[in-house]
């Protein structure tokens, strides 16, 4: 009986070590990209999920999913903390979902499904790293940027539209602000990245444009 207990403890220690290692691999990728949640966060998420799962199996003999089910709720609150609104979009969603996926990997380790957790880690790293190339290709050919362009004369709005057409950018005016003779229009422009760069150079040298921001 004592031998079986020692073997069980050794097995649990090994599972805990594996969870720390897998959390480190995912956390290193997020740390490398300077995201809001980094190395220590993902190690602790994976380790904590693993430990809670082991405890739920040991404590909840009749209902082993009692503690494990609450891990999902806790991770939801943690993930919400890294989501914030940027200038033009919501940031942190990828990091939040990575935390959620890392928790599932920790739970798989704690349940003894080591090979499944290894596969999950590889897939997470593949999605985060390899698919970045695909995102860059899409971004290069279809980039959406919100511009705030200030002009002295309200009659120069068509001039801005002609500039957008010249550089093959689809445009839509989302709002306007008039102050002391100056008109600022917020434009949502869509097109190739190189066309955006050409437009920015044109805005910088255009005498009718008094200010721009993107």
Q: What 8-state DSSP symbol labels residue 154? A: G
Query: How long, in residues, is the chain?
Result: 214
Distance CA 134, CA 47 (A): 31
State the chain's mean pLDDT as an integer: 83
Q: What single-letter DSSP state applies at residue 153?
A: -
Q: In the predicted model, is pLDDT for residue 101 greater than 50?
A: yes
Tokens (6 digits) for 164: 């957008």
pLDDT attached to residue 65: 64
Regarding pTM above 0.75, the answer is no
The band of 35, judged by pLDDT with boundaries at 50, 70 and 90, is confident
Task: Say which residue the tokens 């300077």 belong to.
Answer: 34
Query: Shortest CA distance to 100 belongs to which of 127, 122, 118, 73?
Result: 73
Q: Can you tell me the mean pLDDT for 125-134?
A: 82
Dist. CA 156–CA 162, nearest whole Å: 10
Q: What is the SS3 assignment for 187?
A: strand
pLDDT at 2 over 50: no
Report yes or no: 157 and 184 within 8 Å, Cβ to Cβ.
no
50-98 pLDDT per residue, tens: 998 888 887 765 666 666 667 777 777 776 777 665 555 666 788 888 8
- Give the pLDDT confidence of 166-182 residue by residue, as tens digits: 999 999 988 888 877 78
Nearest residue to 102 (alpha-carbon basis) of 25, 3, 155? 25
C-alpha–C-alpha distance, residues 146 and 213, integer Å: 8
Q: How far apart are CA 104 and CA 175, in angstroms?
A: 43
> In whole angstroms, what is the distance from residue 16 CA to residue 84 CA?
32
State whether the Cα torsion 49-55-59-62 is positive or negative: positive
Contact 42, 99 (CB under 8 A): yes
Does domain 141-213 fall under CATH 3.50.50.60? My reply is: no
Model confidence at 148: pLDDT above 80 = yes
What is the side-by-side order of every strand in the sheet holding 143-151? 170-179, 182-191, 143-151, 209-213
Q: Where are the domains of the chain?
A: 9-131, 141-213
Which residues touch 148 (CB under 8 Å, ≥6 apart)? 184, 185, 186, 187, 211, 212, 213, 214
Q: Say if residue 22's pLDDT is above 50.
A: yes
Confidence of residue 3 (pLDDT cuts 50, 70, 90): very low
């Amino acid at each position: 009986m004592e031998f079986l207990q020692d073997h069980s403890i050794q097995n649990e220690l090994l599972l805990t070590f594996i969870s720390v290692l897998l959390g480190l691999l995912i956390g290193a990728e997020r740390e490398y990209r300077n995201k809001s949640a980094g190395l220590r966060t993902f190690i602790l998420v994976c380790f904590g999920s693993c430990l809670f799962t082991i405890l739920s199996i040991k404590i909840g003999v009749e209902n082993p999913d009692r503690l494990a089910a609450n891990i999902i709720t806790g991770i939801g609150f943690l993930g919400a903390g890294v989501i914030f609104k940027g200038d033009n979009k919501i940031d942190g969603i990828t990091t939040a979902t990575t935390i959620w996926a890392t928790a599932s990997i920790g739970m798989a380790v704690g349940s003894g499904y080591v090979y499944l957790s290894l596969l999950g880690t590889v897939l997470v790293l593949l999605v985060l790293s390899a698919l970045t190339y695909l995102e860059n290709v899409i971004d290069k050919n279809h980039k959406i940027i919100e511009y705030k362009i200030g002009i002295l004369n309200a009659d120069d709005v068509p001039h801005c539209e002609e500039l957008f057409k010249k550089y093959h950018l689809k445009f839509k005016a989302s709002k306007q602000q008039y102050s002391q003779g100056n008109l600022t229009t917020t434009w949502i422009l869509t097109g190739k990245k190189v066309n955006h760069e050409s437009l920015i150079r044109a805005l910088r040298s255009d005498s009718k444009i008094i200010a721009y921001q993107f």
